């Protein structure tokens, strides 16, 4: 919000007219768009519940150290992108840049580890990252997040990916699953030796930021958005080629499960995710766009996640292997529009009365009055002769039920009732039509 002040000659300040404005990187969701949000969110919740997930709601504001410790001090998110400030009690707090850390904190704080494991939780809400706004990148965006805490089994990783696959199918979105393994702490020790060897005389080819990060968190060079770093990393050894036997076995089982489920995936050794807490399996969901480069697709990733076996222990909890993922709401909706996915027509509780032939129309006139009296929202276009024209209008206004009265129906004291949501059509006794309608609405 901008507040302009103007210095007057005598030192007095005059307040100029205040013009409220949306902050950079924020977005209003207007009714035309919020229809998509509601639709996608309902699908997300339905799919999550069908896989046994329950909802958890955690605060938007947390102690800044929660994110520093979990996401990692040398990640872009913590180094550059967090909205942080001191509250009135002089505590440094942050608007959450993701949901996993808060959920992990809640898991420990409320002793959820004493319940039968694993615990499956979903959550939805805004997250904040101070990034340069551009297409598909905002400062406030919404994530739908899923976590499975207390399971080391590769079944968990595969089932999370299966859940995402089901969700994308439900939303009619075509995506590519990119998958990789980051191994465990021990694998990384081995890998870093190879990486530093490969970088021995070439560090200077990386951007300054990457050069600085190299000692603290070498994997981060793979997330760098600078073109020269991206190009350079194509020729470096990959972590996947250095993982230990146990991590390899885990990864192979995840892939075998996906094969069993006939879920296609792409092995991508460059997927490292932008956070430090991941171990073993990591994955991302990219929109399927034939001619775009890997970088372009990854820029518009619809979601991603992975295993984080060390995080809970690191926050002071018991050893708790876990796996999770998050989807970006705005990007999912944008991609639905790009891929031409239409929302199903919203059916209102309107009953549309149609009639063919003069005797049927006459009967329909009195039936229309009866329905109104029974407080049913009824519409008609009886002045139109063709049934097609009447049905077109019923469809256009999104009627839930269409009643069709023809000569035969009048003769037999029946009427056709069609549920436009299910498409099911039945012939019923015209004297029972009010009860029949109420049963269906």
- Which of these ranges, 204-212, 298-306, 365-373, 404-412, lies near ligand AMP under the rule CB under 6 A? 298-306
In three-state secondary structure terms, 320 is coil
Site stretch for ligand AMP (CB under 6 A), options 156-164, 216-224, 299-307, 387-395 = 299-307
DSSP letters along 13-46, please? Answer: EEEPPPB--PPTT-----HHHHHHHHHHHHHHHH
The reply to whether 281 sits near ligand AMP by the rule CB under 6 A is no
Please report the sign of the dihedral spanned by the C-alpha atoms of residue 131, residue 137, residue 141, residue 145: negative
Helices (H) and strands (E) in the chain, counts: 16, 18
| Contact predicate 404/376, CB 8 Å | no
Interface residue with ligand AMP, options 120, 220, 270, 331 (CB under 6 A)? 331
CA distance 154 to 169: 23
Q: How many residues bind ligand AMP (CB under 6 A)?
A: 17
Instruction: Please report whether residue 168 would count as binding ligand AMP according to CB under 6 A.
Output: no
Pick from 27, 35, 43, 137: which binds ligand AMP (CB under 6 A)? 137
3-state DSSP call for residue 191?
helix
Minimum CB separation of residue 235 from ligand AMP in Å reads: 25
**Minimal distance in Å, beta carbon 131 to ligand AMP?**
5
Contact call for residue 143 and ligand AMP (CB under 6 A): yes
Q: How far apart are the first and last CA of the chain?
A: 46
In the complex with ligand AMP, which residue's Cβ is closer, 302 or 356? 302
The answer to whether 361 and 382 have CB atoms below 8 angstroms apart is yes
Considering the rule CB under 6 A, would residue 141 count as an interface residue with ligand AMP? yes
Nearest approach, Cβ of residue 175 and ligand AMP (Å): 11
Compare residues 307 and 363 and give the one whose CB is closer to ligand AMP: 307
- Per CB under 6 A, does 328 bind ligand AMP? yes
How far out from the chain centre does Cα 338 lie? Answer: 16
Of all residues in the shown chain, the one whose CB is closest to ligand AMP is: 328
Residue among 72 and 328 whose Cβ is closer to ligand AMP:
328
283 binds ligand AMP (CB under 6 A): no
- Comparing CA positions, the residue from 393, 400, 344, 407 lying closest to residue 376 is 400
Give the shortest CB-328-to-ligand AMP separation in angstroms: 2
Beta strands in 194-334 (DSSP E): 266-267, 279-287, 303-307, 322-328
Stretch that binds ligand AMP, among 36-44, 162-170, 325-333, 418-426 (CB under 6 A): 325-333
Q: Which residues contact 63 (CB under 8 A, 6 or more apart)?
A: 91, 92, 93, 94
Whole-number minimum distance, CB 154 to ligand AMP, in Å? 21
User: To the nearest 5 percent, what fractions of the chain are helix, strand and coil?
Assistant: 40, 25, 35
Residue of the chain from 303, 306, 317, 321 that contacts ligand AMP (CB under 6 A): 303
Q: Is 383 helix (H, G, I), strand (E, B) or coil?
A: coil
- Check whether the bond before 352 is cis (ω within 30° of 0): no
Asked if 307 touches ligand AMP (CB under 6 A), the answer is no
Q: Is 129 in the site for ligand AMP (CB under 6 A)?
A: yes
Residue 333 binds ligand AMP (CB under 6 A): no
Interaction of residue 304 with ligand AMP, rule CB under 6 A:
yes
Q: Which residues on neighbouring strands pair with residue 404, listed in sequence order?
A: 354, 416
Instruction: Provide, rounded to whole angstroms, the least separation between the CB of residue 91 and ligand AMP.
Output: 26
Residues that bind ligand AMP (CB under 6 A): 98, 129, 131, 136-138, 141, 143, 274, 301-304, 326, 328, 330-331
């Amino acid at each position: 919000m901008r507040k302009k002040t103007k210095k007057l000659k005598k030192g007095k300040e005059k307040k100029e007219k205040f013009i409220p404005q949306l902050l950079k990187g924020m977005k209003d969701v207007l009714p035309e768009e919020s229809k998509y949000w509601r639709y996608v969110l309902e699908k997300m919740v339905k799919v999550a519940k069908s896989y046994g997930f329950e909802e958890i709601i955690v605060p938007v504001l947390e102690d800044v150290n929660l994110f520093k410790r979990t996401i990692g001090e040398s990640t872009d998110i913590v180094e550059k992108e967090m909205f942080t400030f001191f509250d009135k009690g002089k505590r440094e707090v942050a608007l959450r840049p993701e949901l996993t850390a808060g959920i992990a904190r809640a898991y420990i704080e409320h002793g959820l580890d004493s319940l039968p494991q694993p615990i499956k939780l979903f959550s939805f809400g805004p997250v904040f990252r101070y990034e340069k706004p551009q297409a598909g990148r905002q400062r406030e965006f919404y994530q739908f997040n899923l976590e499975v805490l207390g399971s080391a089994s590769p079944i968990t990783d595969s089932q999370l990916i299966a859940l995402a696959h089901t969700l994308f199918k439900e939303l009619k979105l075509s995506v590519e699953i990119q998958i990789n393994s980051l191994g465990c702490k021990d694998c990384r020790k081995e890998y870093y030796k190879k990486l530093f060897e490969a970088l021995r005389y070439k560090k200077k080819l990386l951007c300054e930021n990457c050069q600085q990060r190299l000692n603290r968190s070498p994997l981060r060079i793979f997330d760098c958005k600078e073109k020269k770093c991206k190009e350079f990393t194509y020729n470096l050894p990959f972590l996947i080629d250095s993982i230990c036997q146990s991590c390899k076995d885990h990864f192979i089982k995840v892939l075998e499960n996906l094969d069993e489920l006939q879920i296609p995936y792409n092995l991508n050794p460059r997927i490292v995710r932008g956070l430090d807490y991941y171990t073993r399996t990591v994955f991302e969901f990219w929109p399927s766009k034939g001619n775009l480069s890997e970088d372009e697709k990854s820029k518009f990733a619809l979601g991603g996640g992975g295993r984080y076996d060390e995080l809970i222990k690191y926050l002071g909890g018991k050893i708790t292997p876990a796996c999770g993922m998050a989807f970006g709401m705005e990007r999912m909706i944008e991609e639905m529009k790009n891929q031409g996915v239409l929302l199903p027509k919203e059916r209102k509780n309107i009953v549309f009365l149609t009639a063919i032939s003069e005797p049927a129309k006459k009967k329909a006139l009195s039936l229309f009055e009866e329905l109104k009296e029974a407080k049913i929202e009824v519409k008609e276009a009886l002045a139109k002769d063709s049934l097609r024209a009447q049905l077109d209008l019923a469809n256009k206004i999104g009627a839930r039920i269409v009643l069709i009265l023809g000569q035969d129906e009048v003769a037999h004291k029946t009427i056709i009732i069609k549920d436009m949501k299910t498409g099911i059509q039945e012939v019923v006794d015209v004297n029972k039509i009010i009860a029949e309608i109420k049963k269906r609405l």
